[in-house]
Structure 1
Amino acid sequence: MNKWREVLLDPNVHFPGESSEYRRARNELLEAEAELRRQNEQVAAQRRALPAGGLIREDYVFESAADGSKVRFSELFAPGRNSLVIYNMMFPRWSEDQRAGAPGGKTAELPLVDQPCPSCTSVVDGLDGAAFHLAERINLVVIAKTSPDRLGAYAQERGWRNLRLLSSRNNTFNRDYHAEAPDGGQLPVLNVFSRGEDGIYHHWTSEMTFKRGDTSSLDPVWVIYGALDLTREGRGDSAAYPNLQY
């Protein structure tokens, strides 16, 4: 890696046609970006160093979207991989979400209120592409409250082939780990669990969602906003974005 670092290092980078004003401003921004990176690394280290959270309260039983078979929580850990990342997608969507529904297939036949959240769909689109690589290091699962048949049909329609998709319709996992509101509405939440010699512990949840009242805590797994943040236009109004139809 030291050789690769030598390839990358260049303190005198300039680009065609740039003004001295641009270069000064860009260098100031570069310092801010470097400081942000240091802070990100510090926060990541704090996250890794968290003491063990609570032991899971029960060996939850899920239903596989692939074939409807029963899957226990403890079975989500493959040999040699002791971290489990779970994304709870909103399927069904928020009852007041009026964004367009699925463009076709069996999912489009459902009432809009029973269809999946477009934002969660965007997150899972990205996770499916990364799942092949992540499987070398961690266990990754997507959970939804809908039936396994509906979840499996939607996975086929979206082309999700690499993810393990599970229905939680018959257990309390979503409610226990804050992926379900008191009224039963579903919430988009990331949970991480760690397996040790004496059991499975909760490690981390995207709690910033509840502190800020937005979904920015999903940014680490939501690539579209990372791309938009690089542009002059930025994120803009995300109230009706992303969508299932454009």
Structure 2
Amino acid sequence: MDNQHLVPAAVLAAKNGVRFPNESEEYRIARDALLAEEIELRRHIERVAVQRRALPPGGEVTKDYRFEGSDGPISFSELFADKETLIVYSYMFGPERERPCPMCTSLLSAWDGEVPDIQQRAALAVVALSPIGRLLAFKKERGWHHLPLYSDTTGDYSRDYHAIGRGGGDDAAFNVFTRRDGSIRHFWSQEMGEVTADPGEDPRGAPDLMPLWTVIDSTPEGRPADWYPKLSY
């Protein structure tokens, strides 16, 4: 994005012209100032996306990772199907857990309906350390229709791509891979976490993959420090 040719965000905000019933002048001034910041945020998100797409080739995937899906054993390369890009989400639902991570579950529930759309552009795999039967049973319980679930039967993939924490338990991870000219490479991973979190902030990534927080961020209460999604209500 060429910032030199962009209209200043404040100018665009002033052209907005939106008004709501009985709003005060004080509100409109503050809202237009916020709108200018939202425009700048949109532009920054796009600049980061351009920088991400321009990354040099990542590390080559040389191991023959094996998984178990609903239709039986499957290799890592087969997860691509007919696509050149593969998105892998590592789900915190290992055998040591009585129930899956509620936060991961909330995220995946939001994604479930988007899977057919995502699969027009890229392959998608949701990988966990539990046996496939356990994963499919929870898929049915949760009412998911589209999420492709796979068991990392050996744990090799999860260890190599940071889905197992320092203490040995499972951890969430989001990785993207490419297949070009017969070579599979790692493209990008969400690397923000505890060590990159700002004081008083939840160790989330940016942009946030959870639609839940995008919606709650639009409310006056914002993200609650003492609230966590549940598996049932």
- Please state how far the C-alpha of 1:219 moved relative to its aligned partner: 5.2
The 3 A distance-change label for structure 1 pair 243 and 126 is same
Aligned partners of 2:131 and 2:182: how far apart in 1? 32
2:222 is matched with 234
Whether the 8 Å contact between 1:219 and 1:226 is mirrored in structure 2 is no
2:11 maps to: none
Aligned-pair distance for 1:190? 0.5
Is 2:79 aligned against 1:73?
A: no
Distance 2:80 2:190 in 1: 21
The aligned residue for residue 92 of structure 1 is 94
| Inter-partner Cα distance in structure 2 for 1:175 and 1:210 | 19
**Match for residue 3 of structure 2?**
none
Write out aligned runs for 1:35-184 (5 A).
35-64=40-69, 66-67=70-71, 69-79=72-82, 81-92=83-94, 113-184=97-168
Deviations, residues 83-109 of structure 1 (Å, cap 9, x unaligned):
11111010038x7xxxxxxxxxxxxxx
Offset of residue 77 of structure 1: 1.0
In structure 2, the CA distance between the partners of 1:187 and 1:161, relative to structure 1 (3 Å rule), is: same
Contact (CA 8 Å) 2:127, 2:151: kept in 1 or not?
yes
Aligned partners of 1:41 and 1:179: how far apart in 2? 28
In structure 1, how many angstroms separate the alpha carbons of the residues matched to 2:230 and 2:188? Answer: 28
Matched to 1:119, the amino acid is: M
Matched to 2:107, the amino acid is: V
Match for 1:27 among 28, 32, 43?
A: 32
Paired with 1:171 and 1:27, the residues of 2 have a C-alpha distance of 51
For 1:234, the aligned partner's letter is: G
Contact 2:66–2:153 (Cα < 8 Å) also in 1:
no
Per the alignment, in what secondary structure is the counterpart of residue 216 of structure 1? coil
Q: Which runs of 5+ in 2 are unaligned?
A: 1-14
Hey, what's the Cα distance between the residues in 1 that align with 2:194 and 2:86? 22
- What percent of counterpart residues are identical? 42
CA gap 1:45/1:87 in 2 versus in 1, 3 angstroms: same
Say which SS state the counterpart of residue 217 (structure 1) adopts: coil
Maintained 8 Å contact 2:93/2:101: yes
SS across alignment from 1:193 = strand
Contact 2:128-2:150 at 8 Å conserved across structures: yes
TM-score, normalised on structure 1? Answer: 0.82
Counterpart residue type for residue 128 of structure 1:
D
TM-score by length of 2: 0.87
Distance 1:57 1:45, change over 3 A: same
Structure 1 residues 169-218: Cα deviation after superposition (integer angstroms, max 9, x where no partner): 32410110011013321111110101110411001111012542555117
Amino acid at match of 1:187: D
- 1:18-77 CA-to-partner distances (Å, cap 9, x unmatched) read 11000000000011111111111000000111011101131211001x24x101000011
Instruction: Give me the CA root mean square deviation.
Output: 1.8
Matches of 1:188 and 1:217 in 2, distance apart? 12
Which residue of structure 2 aligns with residue 185 of structure 1? Answer: 169
Between the two proteins, the alignment pairs up a number of residues equal to 215
